[in-house]
Amino acid sequence: MTDTQPTGDRRRFLADGIRVAGVVAAGSLGGFLAGRRGYAAESRWQIDPDECIGCGNCATYCVLDESAVKCVQCFDMCGYCDICTGYFDPRYKKLDTAAENQLCPTDALIRTFVEGKAGQNFYEYTIHVEACIGCGKCVKGCALMNGSLYLQVMHDRCVNCNECAIAVACPTQAFVRLPSARPYKLKRAAVALIRRKSESGEDDTGDARRLIERVNTDA
Amino acid sequence: MHDPPRALPVASERRASSPGSRGSAFPPHTVRRVPPFVRACVIGVLFIPAGALGARGELIPTPKFSDHAIPTSTVPDVGSEVPMVLDVAILLGALGLASYFTLVIRSRKHLLALTVASLVWFGFYREGCVCPIGATQNVALGIFDSTYVVPIATIAFFLPPLVFTLFFGRTFCAAVCPLGAVQELVAIRTATVPRWLDHSLGLIAYVYLGASVIFAATGTAFVICRFDPFIAFFRRAGNTNMLIYSASVLLIAFVIGRPYCRYLCPYGAILRVLSTFSRWRLSIPPGACVNCRLCENVCPYGAIHPPTVTPSAQSRARGRQQLAVSVVAAPLVIVGFTWMATVLAAPLSQWHPEVRLAEQVRIEESGLAEKSTDASDAFRNSGRSKEDLYASGIAWREKYRTLGGWLGAWTGFVIAVKLVHLSIRRKRDDYQAERSGCVSCGRCYWYCPVEKVRLGLIQDVSEAIDGAKPGASSAVARAPEDAAV
């Protein structure tokens, strides 16, 4: 390239000016974005369980083969019902654990007898996380009663896409970005219960404290 | 009674938010079909507590057990990730290497190796996230939404390629970007896109950039990520539509070099502009050009342009006239597009979930919808008033009238600049890579006979030309005249 003519000099000067301006602009944009907000509050996707309607999109829209969304049981909200509306298919033939009687398509909700008293049998319902596909069928069923079952994005699985595919498909805009330090949510009704449990002496295992430490309790 | 007991579906159509309906969850015929033991449980667990719930919607109490503590579910920690610092360091390293390979050692072979490495790391291992292309949206949202925090990693991915491009040309596109890398590796038998079509399609990227910034800044959608053509390959998963789209873009990339980079990539659009002002860039040939046209033929992206001929006085006059017309037309184009684009308010605003919901509810209310959607059902159960939703929907649509106008103005501006740019003639003495269009892939280095002489691979230019393309020597003589087009 032979840029020895005056036009060449002028053009080069202009280009130099633009480059300097570009670098300054890039630097100030970076400074503006980084400095004003800080590093602390990077976000992760989460479901607001109070907004979730258990539509089933979480099972199918996640970019992972096995959805990062799983069901969580809030035992402190659970009625330990015998006829659990989250466990039994409304068209059940018998109230037993046979597959055709269950709502859960993958047998991920486990029913365990706890105690019988005052003529009632009480069962505990736990989630088998590996089997759960996040379809929300049990969540929808449970919502008829106490609503103790709820869906959450599991952050050991979630790849934190820039635009969560489930969030796009979510009919109730239940997906929110939460600061990654506390990337989980509880139902509003459960926050006080779990907090009280964590602060009382009942929390032998420390699980309540561990949960409340991971939960974002902002509105 | 052959029908299965349809007890709970009736109830499931109601919501938990209507506690008064709980008592009727099991109609009598269902209870008749179940054994007395179960009936007792139904009455015990369901009916009595439900009666006790009353209208206040209290929960069935969690029982106190004699020797069973109520457990608490735990949730997993954020999984271990590749440290952000490592990712950024690799990005900077790759940018540096790409620039070094392009400008200093001028080696296609090295660039190709780096391309494969970037594809493996940023594409298949990191699964295409974070990428600077999508980071454009985070930056746009971060600027306009003070509640959104742009992760440092995203900023660190967005800015360095811009600065590198200002100094070294589009070396990011050459061998760092995983999307570019996929297309680079399949650009084997590429056809030449006619100049006029290439220029026209190239404008789409700028419009796409404008639209994606508007959608991102308003928090409506991240369209670049949603329509990323290669993310399905990187993840080796995706829905049917994504896979069809990805496969189509990839198939097109076999016959048209880098279709995404040239005609769609919004980040590429920014880089094209910046590359125009780059301090150093890929240049061919390293010595006196022999006008063999090999570089022009081999460039799959139509980025190498022939030397210009001295225009005749008549053609100069025509050129001046064209420039004058395009400069005068520029404001008209901008105003025209702004005006036209305000009609885009309705379709653009439909990308916003609030507007979609408002429209759906409106359609259902007017009895035109066959059935309600999950979203509209949820809205009716939320207790929010229709008027509130409609007002919000209308507000968004009005906002999009303004934003559509801005998008139109931007489109008009881009077209006007293109017209003016096309009217300005530039003098080229040699075959040269176009400043904006060249992605520094280095294919021309591989073929240029002058380059081969420089590297000492051959003694004289004629060896390469005869060897590489029989009869090319006639092209040498023909080239300057042909180039007048």
How far from chain centre, in Å, is Cα B235? 16
Q: Out of B75, B138, B151, whose CB is closest to A184?
A: B75
Q: Tell me the residue type at A9.
A: D
Q: Do A75 and B151 touch (CB under 8 A)?
A: no
Q: Do B72 and A152 touch (CB under 8 A)?
A: no
| Model pLDDT, residue B138 | 93
Tell me the torsion sign for CA atoms A193, A194, A200, A204. Answer: positive
Share above pLDDT 70 across residues of chain B, in percent, rounded to a whole number:
84
| Model pLDDT, residue A123 | 95
| Model pLDDT, residue B19 | 39
Mean pLDDT value of segment B313-341: 93
Asked if pLDDT for residue B84 goes beyond 90, the answer is no
Share above pLDDT 90 across residues of chain B, in percent, rounded to a whole number:
56
Chain A positions touching B278 (Cβ under 8 A) are: 19
Q: Is B169 helix (H, G, I), strand (E, B) or coil?
A: coil
Compare all CA atoms of chain A with the CA of B428 and give the residue at the minimum distance: A1
CB B376 within 8 Å of CB B389: no
Mutation site for B-interface testing, chosen from A42, A139, A145, A159 by largest number of B Cβ within 10 Å: A145
Chain B positions touching A91 (Cβ under 8 A) are: 4-6, 8-9
Nearest residue to B201 via CA among B418, B348, B435: B418
Residue A160: pLDDT band with limits 50, 70, 90: confident
CA distance linking residue A176 with residue A47, whole number of Å: 6
Residue B312: pLDDT band with limits 50, 70, 90: confident
Q: Out of A30, A122, A202, whose CB is closest to B69?
A: A202
| Model pLDDT, residue B337 | 95
Q: What is the pLDDT of residues B54-71, one digit of tens each?
A: 334 677 889 888 889 899
Q: What is the pLDDT of residues B137-163, one digit of tens each?
A: 999 999 998 888 888 888 999 999 999
Asked if pLDDT for residue B14 goes beyond 60, the answer is no
Q: What is the ipTM of this complex?
A: 0.87
Q: What is the pLDDT of residues B423-478, one digit of tens each?
A: 988 888 888 888 899 999 999 998 899 998 888 888 888 777 765 444 444 444 44
> CB distance from A159 to chain B under 8 Å?
yes
Q: Do A42 and B152 touch (CB under 8 A)?
A: yes
CA distance linking residue A182 with residue A164, whole number of Å: 18
Q: Do A39 and B152 touch (CB under 8 A)?
A: yes
Residue A105: pLDDT band with limits 50, 70, 90: very high
Q: Do B375 and A171 touch (CB under 8 A)?
A: yes
Q: Do B129 and A79 touch (CB under 8 A)?
A: no
Q: Tell me the residue type at B308.
A: T
More confident residue, B52 or B461: B461
| Model pLDDT, residue B397 | 93
Give how far A112 is from chain B: nearest CA, Å.
12
Q: Out of B40, B59, B150, whose CB is closest to A146?
A: B59
Mean pLDDT across chain B, nearest whole number? Answer: 83
Asked if pLDDT for residue B40 goes beyond 60, the answer is no
Give how far A200 is from chain B: nearest CA, Å.
13
Q: Do A34 and B152 touch (CB under 8 A)?
A: yes
| Model pLDDT, residue A40 | 52
Q: Is A156 helix (H, G, I), strand (E, B) or coil?
A: coil
Nearest-10 Cα torsion for A24, A25, A27, A28: 110
Listed ranges A114-118, B98-102, B304-308, B421-425; the one with the highest mean pLDDT:
B98-102
Q: Do A210 and B74 touch (CB under 8 A)?
A: yes
| Model pLDDT, residue B443 | 92
Give me the residues of A, 75-104, that contact B with CB < 8 A: 75-83, 85, 88-91, 93, 95
Q: Are strands A109-117 and A120-127 parallel, antiparallel or unpaired?
A: antiparallel
Q: Are strands A43-47 and A109-117 parallel, antiparallel or unpaired?
A: unpaired
Q: Do B238 and A121 touch (CB under 8 A)?
A: no
Query: Count of CB atoms within 10 A of residue B230's CB?
Result: 23
| Model pLDDT, residue A39 | 53
Chain B positions touching A13 (Cβ under 8 A) are: none
More confident residue, B44 or B90: B90
Nearest residue to B354 via CA among B408, B400, B404: B400
Q: What is the pLDDT of residues B353-371, one digit of tens each?
A: 999 999 999 999 999 988 9
Structure tokens that stand for A73 in this block: 């049981």
| Model pLDDT, residue B50 | 38
Mean pLDDT value of segment B340-355: 91
Mean pLDDT value of segment A131-153: 95
| Model pLDDT, residue B30 | 39
Q: Give Cβ neighbours of residue A27 (< 8 Å, ≥ 6 apart).
A: none
Asked if pLDDT for residue B33 goes beyond 80, the answer is no
Chain B positions touching A160 (Cβ under 8 A) are: 129
Mutation site for B-interface testing, chosen from A125, A163, A173 by largest number of B Cβ within 10 Å: A163
Chain A positions touching B277 (Cβ under 8 A) are: 15, 18-19, 22
> CB distance from A12 to chain B under 8 Å?
no
Structure tokens that stand for A69 in this block: 């969304």
